[in-house]
């Protein structure tokens, strides 16, 4: 009888030990899962904060050349930080009318484009005539959203393209605070 009771006590101790080990492994797995989720959230936040520097120009038709020079400098700094070259996952290219401006110096870019008053990104201007009475401009958003592209692996912006707007009426209307009327 004594041996049976000792055997039950030993079995109970082993059972309690297994329960404690199971609970400990469950807690470790939960902390690991929590840590992974936090790292994923931090990564997503970093990607969003990087991309917003570029996507803030999307669907704008009044981008100045100084803003483009600023974003080109940011792209150069980012490329330098990651030692990224064209074709790399972290490389960002800034283009105007499909031509990269990162190879040029920003001062040269400003000098070459001083006569262009505004640029657009992801906008197609259908009617460039300005209604003098209401001071409005008719435009539509680009369907393809092709002026900003993303790297599939990292989710980071890898190219932004600005289109020059050389229409004097359009530029003058924007300078006078014109309203852009969006068409579908």
Whether 157 maps to a domain, the answer reads yes
Total number of domains constituting the chain: 1
Short-list 156, 159, 169, 177, CA closest to 89: 156
Whether 171 maps to a domain, the answer reads yes
Lowest-confidence region among 60-64, 78-82, 105-109, 141-145: 141-145
Angle between helix axes 2-55 and 65-81 (nearest 10 degrees) is: 140
Whether 160 maps to a domain, the answer reads yes
Average pLDDT over residues 154-162: 88
Q: Which residues contact 86 (CB under 8 A, 6 or more apart)?
A: 93
Whether 8 maps to a domain, the answer reads no
Cα 134 versus chain centre, distance: 35
Whether 16 maps to a domain, the answer reads no
Whether 41 maps to a domain, the answer reads no
Q: Is the pLDDT of residue 29 over 60?
A: yes
Do residues 108 and 151 lie in contact, with contact meaning Cβ atoms separated by under 8 Å? no
CA–CA distance, 60 with 180 (Å, rounded to integer): 10
Task: Kindly indicate the confidence band of residue 128, based on its pLDDT and cuts at 50, 70 and 90.
Answer: very low
Q: Which residue has the tokens 């539509």?
A: 140
Percent of the chain with pLDDT over 70: 68
What values do phi and psi take at 161, rounded to 5?
-120, 130
CA distances to 18, 45, 61, 85, 113 from 147, in Å = 59, 23, 13, 20, 19
CA distances to 35, 39, 138 from 172, in Å = 54, 48, 14
Predicted confidence at residue 82, as pLDDT, reads 86
Predicted confidence at residue 127, as pLDDT, reads 46
Higher local confidence (pLDDT), 128 or 70: 70
Whether 34 maps to a domain, the answer reads no
Domain that includes residue 89, residue range: 56-183
Average pLDDT over residues 127-144: 55
Q: Is the pLDDT of residue 113 over 80?
A: no
Whether 87 maps to a domain, the answer reads yes
């Amino acid at each position: 009888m004594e041996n049976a009771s000792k055997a039950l006590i030993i079995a109970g101790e082993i059972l309690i030990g297994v329960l404690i080990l199971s609970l400990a492994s469950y807690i470790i797995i939960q902390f690991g899962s929590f840590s992974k989720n936090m790292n994923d959230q931090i990564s997503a936040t970093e990607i969003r904060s990087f991309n917003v520097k570029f996507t803030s120009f999307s669907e704008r038709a009044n981008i100045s050349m100084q803003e483009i020079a600023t974003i080109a400098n940011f792209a150069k700094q980012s490329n330098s930080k990651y030692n990224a070259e064209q074709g790399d996952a972290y490389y960002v290219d800034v283009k105007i009318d499909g031509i990269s401006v990162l190879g040029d110096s920003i001062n040269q870019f400003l000098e070459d484009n001083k006569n262009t008053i505004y640029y657009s990104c992801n906008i197609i201007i259908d009617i460039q005539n300005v209604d003098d009475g209401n001071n409005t401009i008719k435009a539509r958003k680009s369907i393809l959203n092709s002026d900003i592209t993303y790297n599939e692996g990292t989710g980071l912006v890898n190219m932004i393209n600005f289109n020059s707007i050389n229409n004097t009426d359009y530029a003058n209307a924007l300078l006078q605070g014109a309203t852009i009327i969006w068409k579908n």
